[in-house]
Structure 1
Amino acid sequence: MKARYQYRFYPTDQQKQSLAQLFGCVRVVWNDALALSKNSKYPGYNVLAKILTLSKQTEERIWLKDVSSVPLQQSLRHLESAYKNFFDSCSGKRKGKKVGQPRFKKRMNSQSAEFTKAAFSLNNKTVYLAKIGDIKPIWSRELPANPSSVKVLKDCANRYFLSFVVEVEPVNIEAKNQSIGIDLGIKTFAFMSNGEKAESLSYKELDKRVRKLQKKLARQQKDSNRRRKTRIQIAKVHNQIADTRKDFLHKLSTKVVSENQAIILEDLNVSGMMKNRKLSRVISQQGWAEFRTLCEAKCEKFGRDYVVISRWEPTSQVCSECSFKWGKLDLKVRTIKCLNCGAEHDRDENAAKNINKVGMGNLHDSKRTQRQGKTTSVASVGEVSRIPGPVCRGVFQDCAMR
């Protein structure tokens, strides 16, 4: 399997100038090819590559020869991949959220340029890039193999990174537990079926700084030096939030995947939750989708089983001990006492245990998954439980809750 290893580096003034020229050329090639594709039908990579070769011979684009040709060709390949994803999304071949058309690149956004094997080399502790020179990154860890490509990145806060693509072998680590179900939330980021929980990080102080700087930015004159400095300060605070969240998610996902053989998560309707204007900002900061992506990738690396259950499974409406179904509960209810067996449950822990059972095949609501609709607020009289166990035959009463 392939993986990315990213390292930060600090270029010299001459290298900054060369990288700025490279990013500008890559951006111009992308925008020219995209403008040509929008005016007519997308011609394909081969036609665009011939047009690029001819454009270097003109006076308007002769300065494209000052940089390596490999990143320019890779820019056209990336455009081809973007159009392929767009066409596959329109035809239904690509599953998931709809993919839009490629967009023009801007100078103020993050910049990138990709080098293949023909345009870079590794020499001990330095990396040579064609027509850029030797770069000394901060080697925080060793590369497990020779990289097939390297991408030079510059974010909005003027930080520079080298991102290598390498081939890694699966890691054989014996799992301590057979499976684990994870219920994701807001105050408690993850509640595990084994009783463990991970508290969510707080970004209140950083949010205050962002809002204060954004108010300052709105009052400053456009294209001024002070406005440019404020924009970089805002980008640094956003990077601090993203880096803190990424560090937390990496550590948690590594711990979960390395200790359990099967990781079971619930398919959440995040786009629907984002429509709640009171919770949309907090939900967007949690990083649920990123956590799922990390768990899926690390399950492949460690040889684990990755399972995602349906969002229609009523995991918070069923007792995890006796299968008694009490129906839909309000979100403010955090603890439940089952009238059938008398067991007291924490709402999130009970949901995590049910997620684990559904993922392992011990619990399944086939009637729920086959129909389109919302869960009922009250369990019906004499309803047969979906968990193997005693059948609940009494009239449903309000559960004792505290």
Structure 2
Amino acid sequence: MKLSYRPRSIERVFDEGWRVNTVLQAYRFALDPTCAQETALRSHCGGQRFAFNWGLAQVRANLDQREAERSYGVTGEQLTPSMSWSAYSLRKDWNRGKGEAAPWWGENSKEAYSSGLANLATALTNWSSSRAGNRRGSRVRFPRFKGKRAPLSCRFTTGAFGLVDTDRRHVKLPRIGIVRTHESTRKLARRIEAGTARIRSATVTFRSGRWFVSFSVDVERSDPATTLPESVVGVDLGVKSLAVLSTGEVVPNPKHLEHAQRELRRLGRQAARRQRPDRRTGQQPSKRWQQTQARIARLHAHVANARRDGLHKLSTRLVRSHTVVVVEDLNVAGMIHNRRLARRIAGVGMGEFRRQVEYKAAWSGQRVQVADRWYPSSRTCSVCGVVKAKLRLSERTFVCESCGMSIDRDLNAARNLAALVQASSPSCGATENEPDGNPCQSRTTWATGIATGRPAPHGAGQRRHREASTQDSFVHVS
């Protein structure tokens, strides 16, 4: 199973029509560890969590001390020196105090503790940037301590890790040894043998009752240059159907989560009848309760895998059949606040579809146009261009009062999206999928009216980004 990300800006085009891209790609494989290896994996994940909490405690103690001194009128150089939040400084502090804080630290690889401190440094940087207004999106909270119920994960960046050459069914991890994989690793092994891939790091996670290892790999992809004629397709994602294309094709929604609801409800009632853990009384869960929870986790994993497989097939087919794919910039996080449609919207995977289309199009040299979030694709007539003032969600047929056209609203929206390529301008909000630096960076101020695309009222000044982010509560479902 492969998960891929945005390619780097390294591209070479040969005369034969082949293009070589160096991309950062992740290969994930399921593991079948022994009982001793599973204990070691849990110990490493626990070591990462312990290092994260230890570093967070040091940072909070330093901040509280400085705040207390300020309350007594202490200022300037008399204050306690501030603590550096970089991963390098946190690792130095950990190495000085690990003998007293964790006498058992030698049982695990040093990478377990380094990855926990690196995660803490990233969390603190995100909080500081968000507090200063230099980070896009909702405001980031101060990091919190991780409990034993937190997801298990551990990352290795140095040491002896990678694939085993004897057969393609084992991987090697530091201090854990050679672990058998549930599936073959031949896809990654062939690239490494050919010299077109280099493993950078390995991340071990525990999800849905199974251990996984994800290798972050630098891959040189040699994809043929596109020979397709100019073809544009607009994709309108929805709930009733998974997608409606501007060509008239309707991709049905498989509704994997809806079909699993009956079994999920039955397992939920079964778990409610059994002894569950109670933190107040210290009650331990029964074996049958744990077995039921494992079945629920496996069912959710099955639904997620089926959804991801369908999105991969659709996105691959669109990129291979068309040179330009037009999608909408949907506010999925705001859409799921609608309690009537939240489960169905989450079951579609709109954000995952856009992610897959973008990196697959970059691989093959195709283009992805992203329509502005506030572009009225459903309310605009695809023939005459007249925009209706209001279109209720229950109105599934778009009827234009100007030209009299009657068409399905989703097909009308898809055709409007496809028309953005021919008439792309700042007014319609079509943007190309070109890397624009760090996506988390933005202006510290937000001009009035930019978010909605409407002109600002006379005399209106600039607002802070966090004040304008309250406009993101708009919900739009096609």
> With structure 2 as the length reference, what TM-score do the two structures score?
0.71
Alpha-carbon distance in 1 for matches of 2:235, 2:219? 27
1:241 aligned residue: 303
Aligned match of 2:187 in 118, 125, 142? Answer: 142
1:379 aligned residue: none
Aligned match of 1:152 in 204, 213, 230? Answer: 204
State whether structure 2 residue 259 is matched by structure 1 residue 205: yes
Alpha-carbon distance in 1 for matches of 2:370, 2:382? 19
Question: Residues 325-336 of structure 1: matches in 2 within 5 Å?
Answer: 325-336=387-398
2:232 aligned residue: 179
Structure 1 residues 359 and 98: alpha-carbon distance in aligned structure 2, compared to 1, 3 A threshold: farther
Q: Is the contact between residue 308 and residue 359 of structure 1 (CA under 8 Å) also seen in structure 2?
A: no
Alpha-carbon distance in 1 for matches of 2:369, 2:264? 37
The answer for unaligned runs of 5 or more in structure 2 is 1-22, 64-82, 192-196, 278-283, 430-448, 458-478
Alpha-carbon distance in 2 for matches of 1:32, 1:210? 38
2:269 aligned residue: 215
Q: Helix, strand or coil for the counterpart of 2:220?
A: coil
Alpha-carbon distance in 2 for matches of 1:115, 1:186? 40
2:454 aligned residue: 370
* Amino acid corresponding to residue 187 of structure 2 in structure 1: E
1:50 aligned residue: 92
Deviation per CA, 1:101-158: give whole Å up to 9, x if none: 3333333343111112433143313322121111232225511312111111111x32
Structure 1 residues 17 and 83: alpha-carbon distance in aligned structure 2, compared to 1, 3 A threshold: same
Deviation at 1:288, TM superposition (A): 1.0
State whether structure 2 residue 366 is matched by structure 1 residue 304: yes
Deviation at 1:357, TM superposition (A): 1.4
1:377 aligned residue: none
Deviation at 1:87, TM superposition (A): 1.9
Structure 1 residues 219 and 315: alpha-carbon distance in aligned structure 2, compared to 1, 3 A threshold: same
The answer for unaligned runs of 5 or more in structure 1 is 374-402
Deviation at 1:35, TM superposition (A): 2.3
1:96 aligned residue: 137
Deviation per CA, 1:246-267: give whole Å up to 9, x if none: 1112221222223222221112
Structure 1 residues 244 and 194: alpha-carbon distance in aligned structure 2, compared to 1, 3 A threshold: same
Question: Residues 29-178 of structure 1: matches in 2 within 5 Å?
Answer: 29-41=51-63, 43-44=84-85, 45-58=87-100, 61-124=102-165, 125=168, 126-137=170-181, 138-139=183-184, 141-143=186-188, 144=191, 145-155=197-207, 157-170=208-221, 171-174=223-226, 175=228, 177-178=230-231
Please say which of residues 313-322 and 37-46 is displaced more in the overlay. 37-46
Q: Is the contact between residue 206 and residue 212 of structure 2 (CA under 8 Å) also seen in structure 1?
A: yes
Q: Helix, strand or coil for the counterpart of 1:220?
A: coil
Deviation at 1:337, TM superposition (A): 4.4
Q: Helix, strand or coil for the counterpart of 1:17?
A: helix
* Amino acid corresponding to residue 149 of structure 1 in structure 2: S
2:354 aligned residue: 292
Structure 1 residues 211 and 283: alpha-carbon distance in aligned structure 2, compared to 1, 3 A threshold: same
Q: Is the contact between residue 84 and residue 90 of structure 2 (CA under 8 Å) also seen in structure 1?
A: yes
Structure 1 residues 200 and 237: alpha-carbon distance in aligned structure 2, compared to 1, 3 A threshold: same
Deviation at 1:226, TM superposition (A): 2.5
Q: Is the contact between residue 336 and residue 346 of structure 1 (CA under 8 Å) also seen in structure 2?
A: yes
Alpha-carbon distance in 2 for matches of 1:260, 1:96? 32
1:24 aligned residue: 46
Aligned match of 1:195 in 248, 262, 272? Answer: 248
% identical aligned pairs: 33
Q: Is the contact between residue 111 and residue 153 of structure 1 (CA under 8 Å) also seen in structure 2?
A: yes
Alpha-carbon distance in 2 for matches of 1:121, 1:168? 15
Alpha-carbon distance in 1 for matches of 2:251, 2:269? 34
* Amino acid corresponding to residue 217 of structure 1 in structure 2: A
Alpha-carbon distance in 2 for matches of 1:55, 1:173? 55
Q: Helix, strand or coil for the counterpart of 1:43?
A: coil
Aligned match of 1:266 in 320, 323, 328? Answer: 328
Q: Is the contact between residue 209 and residue 297 of structure 2 (CA under 8 Å) also seen in structure 1?
A: no
Deviation per CA, 1:348-378: give whole Å up to 9, x if none: 11111101212442574599722489xxxxx
Q: Is the contact between residue 149 and residue 165 of structure 1 (CA under 8 Å) also seen in structure 2?
A: yes
Q: Is the contact between residue 45 and residue 112 of structure 2 (CA under 8 Å) also seen in structure 1?
A: no
Alpha-carbon distance in 1 for matches of 2:185, 2:353? 23
Aligned match of 1:2 in 11, 16, 24? Answer: 24
Deviation per CA, 1:312-361: give whole Å up to 9, x if none: 22222222123344442222222234455454322111111101212442
Alpha-carbon distance in 1 for matches of 2:375, 2:365? 27
Q: Is the contact between residue 99 and residue 105 of structure 2 (CA under 8 Å) also seen in structure 1?
A: no
1:317 aligned residue: 379
Between the two structures, name the one with larger relative contact order (CA 8 Å, sep ≥ 6).
2
Alpha-carbon distance in 2 for matches of 1:279, 1:113? 35
Aligned length: 371
1:280 aligned residue: 342
Alpha-carbon distance in 2 for matches of 1:98, 1:262? 34
Alpha-carbon distance in 2 for matches of 1:188, 1:278? 17
Q: Helix, strand or coil for the counterpart of 1:147?
A: strand
Deviation at 1:198, TM superposition (A): 1.5
Structure 1 residues 371 and 281: alpha-carbon distance in aligned structure 2, compared to 1, 3 A threshold: farther
Q: Is the contact between residue 236 and residue 328 of structure 2 (CA under 8 Å) also seen in structure 1?
A: yes
Q: Helix, strand or coil for the counterpart of 1:249?
A: helix
Alpha-carbon distance in 2 for matches of 1:235, 1:134? 27
